[in-house]
Structure 1
Amino acid sequence: MGCPSSKMCLYSPCAATRREEALKQQKTLSQELVNLRGELA
């Protein structure tokens, strides 16, 4: 069931998981940016 090259795998479940991870990371970074802006203001 595992993928040999997870970063390049286009199999739907793998792509969906990577997309979900990317969205989580983007959300985290956005929140950090908001916090930093608050500290600078």
Structure 2
Amino acid sequence: MGCASSRLCLYPQCAAARREEALKQHKELSQELVNLRGEL
């Protein structure tokens, strides 16, 4: 990304990249939660 402060950047490209990363992390954490519940 050509933005030095991408964490605070409001340009659509930066916002889309942050959203995509957040969705990926959410999916990973949801899967981890399902796995942990299965172990209980």
5+ residue gaps in structure 1?
none
5+ residue gaps in structure 2?
none
Structure with larger Rg? 1
* Higher relative contact order (CA closer than 8 Å, sequence separation 6+): 2
TM-score, normalised relative to structure 1: 0.92
Aligned length: 40
Give every structure 1 segment of 4 or more consecutive aligned residues whose post-TM-superposition deviation is greater than 2 Å: none
TM-score, normalised relative to structure 2: 0.94
CA shift for structure 1 position 4: 1.3
